[in-house]
Every structure is written in C-alpha cells, then in structure tokens.
Amino acid sequence: MILSKQIINGFIQTELELFKKQFDESPVSEIQDERSLAIAWVSYYFKELVSVENIAAIENYVTEVNYSKNYKTHGWYRISALQSASFILSNNTEHRDTLLNHISCSQGWARGFIIESAGIICPLLDFNNKYLRESTELNLKYSHGCDEQNTVLFLCTKGNAIDKQNWLKSMMKTEKEYHLKFFEGLIKSGKLYQSGFFVRAFNNAKSYFIFKILSEPILAIRQPELFDDIKITFDDLIALEKKHPLNDFYIDLDFLNDTN
C-alpha cells in the first residue's frame, strides 16, 4: 500500500498546534502526554513521509521551549516526547541529550513519561552516550522509580555486547542487594525481561494516532496529487515494529550471554 503524506502531515500539524495551545495549562492533561508521544511514534515509523515544514516546526518549537522562561517550571518534562521527535526527524543531538539528561530527574511523577519518550528512540541511541549512562547510573544509585526500565532501555541501545556485559558486571560490584537480584536475573541464560512498560506506552501512542485518523475523515480523503514515490508496505511497518527492541512484553536480553 501507499500511505498518503497528507494523512501523516495533517495529523502532525493538527496535533502539534493543539499541543502548543495547551502547553502551559495546569495541571497537564493525560491527553497532552499521549498526543506528544503519538507525534514521536508517527515520526519514528513514518519518518520518510514527514514534510520538511513539519520537521522544521517540531525542531523549532522544541528549541523555543528549551529556551523559554517556563522551561524550568514545567517545559522541561512536558516537551520530552517532542524532543524525541526532533531527534528522529532532524537528528538534533542537543534535543536528544537534553531528554536523556532528564531521565535521572528527582521528580518521580515525570520520570516515567521521560523514559517512555526516550524508549521511542532506543534503536537510534548509542550505548556510549554519556548522558544516558550517567542518568541510568544515578537512577540506580538512588533507587529511583523506573530504574529497572531505565536500565533495560540503556542495555537495548546500539552497542557491543561485551561492553554491555562489562558495564553490568561493574554495576554488580557496587550496587545494593536489591539491584543485584535484578542484574542476576538479566544475565541468566535465555532470560527475557518481562514488562509492559514500553509496549503499553507505544500501543497507546498508536491507538491515539489511529483513533484521530478515524475521527477526522478530512485527513483520510485521498488526494492523488499528494502521493509521491515513497512506498511503505504493511510488511515493512510490521518488520520495523518487530525490530524495535522494546516493543514487546518480553524483551530479549540474550546478548548479555553472548561470549563471542
């Protein structure tokens, strides 16, 4: 099948404007988090279809928020998913690293959403990213909520299996007993880490996108002149989704037992 750029870009443009309008409202609504995470999800899976205008709009808005007067009060956590989207679409490493740095924030009510936002870009992250490593180690040190999910995210990034094994061994020498049991479980042969943390967040983002498309028929009106030569098949999308290391209730960490 051929997906229309109109649908993808109509969704992003509409939802980004709604996000902007409600950005400073307090308390932040759950729909805002779902909306921005859906934008990041769409950006990841349909990157080739996103227009240069929407790419610029997301990157510019994230930069605007990052340097706004409200950033320190509420902007820093509300913009998390769009920081991921900006990195996906424009490879803005400043936005990526700012997001990763906030993973170790002391506000537990914000940390989960920030880790979900970083989870979207897990396949694009490097294991040697110092911001992600420092945040992961701080969360473990202080036993912050979601420290296990953070650790799994870190281990599933791009990197050498031996480096990951060595990091885990070094952490086992310094961390408390509570974490030792968790680490030991991760390295057992054939061990799959069971958690719905990431896949639930991704599925919620997917549902938001689908329901919005179905409830806004104007976005789905076929306009042949808006189709281009980029083809994304159903099989392509399924393969990409399966390839995402965090998109499962059972996350494969067998590489921790790789002796090659």
Structure tokens at 163: 């480096």
pLDDT digits (tens, 9 = 90+) for 54-64: 999 999 999 99
How would residue 30 be classed by pLDDT, with cut points 50, 70 and 90? confident
Over residues 193-222, mean pLDDT: 85
Helix (H, G, I), strand (E, B) or coil at 252: strand
* Comparison of pLDDT for 141 and 2, the residue scoring more: 141
pLDDT of the residue at 189 = 55
Phi, psi of 176 (to 5 degrees): -70, 165
Report the number of distinct structural domains present in the chain: 1
Q: pLDDT digit string (tens) for 118-162? A: 999 999 999 999 999 999 999 999 999 999 999 999 999 999 999
pTM: 0.91
pLDDT tens-place string over residues 160-178: 999 999 999 999 987 677 7
> Hey, what amino acid is at 186?
L
Q: pLDDT tens digits for 62-115?
A: 999 999 999 999 999 999 999 999 999 999 999 999 999 999 999 999 999 999
Record the tokens describing residue 174, joined without a space: 């310094």
Full domain range(s) for residue 71:
5-257
The residue with greater pLDDT, 185 or 128, is 128
- Indicate the pLDDT class of residue 223, thresholds 50, 70 and 90: very low
3 state DSSP class of 144: coil
First to last CA, the chain: 41
Joined together, the tokens standing for residue 173 give: 């020498």
Beta bridge partners of 252: 192
